[in-house]
Structure 1
Amino acid sequence: MSPPRQSKYKEVLMALLSLSTAYMIKGDSEKRLSCLIQAERFISVNGFTQTTVSSKRRALHHCYAYMRIMAETTSIDSLCANMASTNISDEDSSQAAFRIYPGVTFSGDIMAMEKDPNVAQRDLHLAIPGSWSLTLFPEMYGVTESFLMLLSQVIRLANERDLSMTEDRTGGLDLKEFWIRAKVLEKGIHLLVSSCPTGKVLVDSLRGESQFESARAQAMYTALLVYFHRRIYDLDAALLQREVDAVEDSLIRAQEAADRHYGSTATLIWPAFIAACEAVRPESELFFSSWFDSCYAATGLRDVSLAKQVFEIIWTKRRENGPDGCSWPEILRTNKIRLMFI
Structure 2
Amino acid sequence: MSAALAADLPSGSIDASLAEIDARSKDERHSTSGDIVVGPFSVMDMTPVSCSEDPPRTVDAVEEVGEQGNVQPATPPVNDMPPLAISPSSMMMGSLAQMDDFLHWSDLFDLGPDPLHLTPHPFLESVNGFDFAMASTFTQTDTLGHNDPRRVMTPQQSPLDTSLPPVDVMADAPFLLKHFQDNVIAQMMAMPLGEKSPWKILNVPAAVLAYSDLTFLGTQNISHARLANLYSLLACSAYHLASNPDIITTNSTEHWKMVTEQAHRQAKDRMQMSLKHEIHQPKKAKYKDQLMAICAMTAFAMLCGQQKDARCYMIDAERLLRLRGLSKPKISQKARLLHHIYTWIRIVGESTYILHDYNPSSSFIESFNRHFRTDHNTFSHRNPRLDDFLHLQPRQSDSDLDIDQPKDSEVALHDIHLQDSRKFPGTLYNQIYGIPETWLSLVSQTTRMANVLDSLRIARRTHKNLSAEAWDTVHRRRIRLENMVCSFDLNHARDINGDGSPNSYMLRALSSALVIFFHRRIRQVHPTILQGHVDSIIASLADFDNALEQCQNPGPGTAWPAFIAGCEAVTVSRREATLRWVEKGHAQCGFIAFTRAREVMLEVWRRQDEHLAARRGDDIPTWVEVAKEWQLWPIFC
TM-score when scaled to structure 1?
Answer: 0.87
**Are 1:73 and 2:351 counterparts?**
yes
> Which residue matches 2:600?
310
1:235-254 alignment, distance < 5 Å: 235-254=525-544
**Are 1:177 and 2:473 counterparts?**
yes
Maintained 8 Å contact 1:117/1:132: yes
CA positional deviation for 1:105: 4.2
Alignment equivalent of 1:329, drawn from 616, 624, 628: 624
**Are 1:37 and 2:333 counterparts?**
no
Maintained 8 Å contact 1:115/1:131: yes
C-alpha spacing 1:6/1:247, structure 2 compared with 1 (3 Å): farther
Distance between the aligned counterparts of 2:486 and 2:593, measured in 1? 29
Maintained 8 Å contact 1:77/1:332: no
**Are 1:61 and 2:61 counterparts?**
no
Alignment equivalent of 1:142, drawn from 429, 434, 444: 434
Maintained 8 Å contact 1:107/1:184: no
* 1:278 aligned partner, one-letter code: E
Distance between the aligned counterparts of 2:625 and 2:339, measured in 1? 32
**Deviation string for 1:210-267 (max 9, x for gaps)?**
x101001001111000000000100110000000000000000001111234555443
Maintained 8 Å contact 1:77/1:333: yes
Distance between the aligned counterparts of 2:348 and 2:413, measured in 1? 19
> Which residue matches 1:87?
none
Distance between the aligned counterparts of 2:384 and 2:602, measured in 1? 41
> Which residue matches 1:86?
none
Maintained 8 Å contact 1:137/1:143: yes
Distance between the aligned counterparts of 2:282 and 2:416, measured in 1? 19
Distance between the aligned counterparts of 1:126 and 1:285, measured in 2? 33
Alignment equivalent of 1:121, drawn from 398, 410, 413: 413
Distance between the aligned counterparts of 2:518 and 2:448, measured in 1? 11
* 1:56 aligned partner, one-letter code: K
1:103-252 alignment, distance < 5 Å: 103=395, 105-106=397-398, 110-167=402-459, 174-196=470-492, 198=494, 202-203=497-498, 206-207=499-500, 211-252=501-542
CA positional deviation for 1:295: 1.0
Distance between the aligned counterparts of 1:3 and 1:143, measured in 2? 39
* 1:60 aligned partner, one-letter code: L
* 1:24 aligned partner, one-letter code: M
Counterpart secondary structure, 1:112? coil
Identity %, equivalent residues: 27
What runs of 5+ residues in structure 2 fail to find an aligned partner? 1-278, 361-382
Maintained 8 Å contact 1:4/1:46: no
Considering fraction of residues, name the structure with more helix.
1
Distance between the aligned counterparts of 2:392 and 2:555, measured in 1? 32
CA positional deviation for 1:195: 2.1
> Which residue matches 1:271?
561
* 1:133 aligned partner, one-letter code: P
Maintained 8 Å contact 2:489/2:511: yes
Distance between the aligned counterparts of 2:288 and 2:449, measured in 1? 33
Alignment equivalent of 1:48, drawn from 317, 326, 330: 326
Q: Which moved more, 1:236-245 or 1:264-273?
A: 264-273
C-alpha spacing 1:263/1:179, structure 2 compared with 1 (3 Å): farther
**Deviation string for 1:145-193 (max 9, x for gaps)?**
1111111000000001110122466869833222211111111112211
Distance between the aligned counterparts of 1:340 and 1:29, measured in 2? 8
What runs of 5+ residues in structure 1 fail to find an aligned partner? 83-89
Distance between the aligned counterparts of 1:314 and 1:24, measured in 2? 22
How many equivalent residue pairs? 328
Q: Which moved more, 1:253-262 or 1:306-315?
A: 253-262
CA positional deviation for 1:333: 1.2
Distance between the aligned counterparts of 2:341 and 2:548, measured in 1? 23
CA positional deviation for 1:132: 1.2
Counterpart secondary structure, 1:140? helix
Maintained 8 Å contact 1:81/1:97: no
> Which of 1 and 2 has greater Rg?
2
